[in-house]
Amino acid sequence: MSGTQTSRPTGGRPKSGEPVLERAFRLLHAFADAPTRSLTLQQLAARADLPKTTTFRLATQLVSLAALERLDNGEFVIGLRMMEIASLGPRGYGLRATALPFMEDLHRITGQHVLLAVRDGNEAVLVERLSARDATTVKYRVGGRLPLDTTGVGVALLAHAPESLRGSFLARLEVDGRTSRLRELLAAVRTEGVCEITGANPAAAQPAAMSTVAAPILTRRGRLLGAISLVAPAAGGSVAANRVALRTVGLAIARTMDAADPG
């Protein structure tokens, strides 16, 4: 699903003095890595680590605000109001609106997965994914979180992240002696504008090996907006053949964003 598990407080009771707003967000975030899109009251309470009485009270308030909806069977789902609010975010949906026509062209030509992501702290967040019906199964969904050091879009984002963030990743990998490959990938992004990664399919599906080629989306002043990638079976060789196309799409998206915001 999202690819990243998020730690939660433990204990089954709200933290002493925890603001109501934080508890409400814990309820909303309980859907982030849930195996299904709807949750029962008991599941919602367990995933948010809140008492059922507190969960019911807050969930009822969120339903009245259209942040949650309650189905006929009593289960809860994310409400349309959340989609309306999220669509106002320029870093996610603003970039998505600009990038989508270019992604559609790339998707039409390749018939493979095209991913668009932005960086949020030390993770990438997938804001759009175009997939052909017969394309190989991939793990990550829109809104899901991806690691920065092992995914194509993640490496493309990490290459242009603050030096302190790159340093922390490299220091953590140094223990396992796995920094050399990451350094090579980061250098490729900064010098060639693109990187390629081949590895095991994280979805545990066939084919077993997948390749991804990714490029950052940078404004003319070098500000990182996001990253785009193409994911396909490694055996086909189609990913490497589309390095130039992907790099071109990344530049086109950035140029369009610059034109919309010349300042």
Question: Residue 180: what pLDDT?
Answer: 83
Residue 124: predicted pLDDT: 92
pLDDT, average across residues 92-113: 86
pLDDT greater than 70 at residue 22: yes
Whether the model pTM is above 0.75: no
Q: Which CATH number fits domain 90-260: 3.40.50.740, 3.40.1410.10, 3.20.20.100, 3.30.450.40?
A: 3.30.450.40
152-166, 175-189, 209-223, 229-243: segment of lowest average pLDDT = 229-243
Mean pLDDT of the chain: 82
Higher pLDDT, 100 or 81: 100
Model confidence at 2, pLDDT cuts 50, 70, 90, reads very low
**Domain regions of the chain by residue span:** 20-86, 90-260
Amino acid 59: pLDDT: 93
Lowest mean pLDDT among 15-24, 37-46, 94-103: 15-24
The least confident of 33-42, 138-147, 149-158, 229-238 is 229-238
Q: Is the pLDDT score of 123 beyond 50?
A: yes
Q: Domain 20-86 classified CATH 1.20.58.390?
A: no
**What is the Cα–Cα distance from 91 to 118, expressed in whole angstroms?**
7
Q: DSSP per residue over the chain, as a string? A: --S-------SSSPPTT--HHHHHHHHHHTTTT-SSS-B-HHHHHHHHT--HHHHHHHHHHHHHTTSEEE-TTS-EEE-HHHHHHHTT-IIIIIHHHHHHHHHHHHHHHH-SEEEEEEEETTEEEEEEEE--TTSPP-S--TT-EEETTTSHHHHHHHTTS-HHHHHHHHHHHHTTT-HHHHHHHHHHHHHHS-EEEEEE-TTS-SSSEEEEEEEEEE-TT--EEEEEEEEEEGGG-HHHHTHHHHHHHHHHHHHHHHHH---
pLDDT at 1: 33
Confidence (pLDDT) at 15: 53
**Span 192-241, pLDDT tens digits:** 999 998 877 665 556 567 788 999 999 888 899 999 999 887 665 556 66
- How much of the chain exceeds pLDDT 90, in percent? 37
Interval 247-252 mean pLDDT: 92
- Quick one: pLDDT at residue 7? 40
Report pLDDT for 11.
Answer: 44
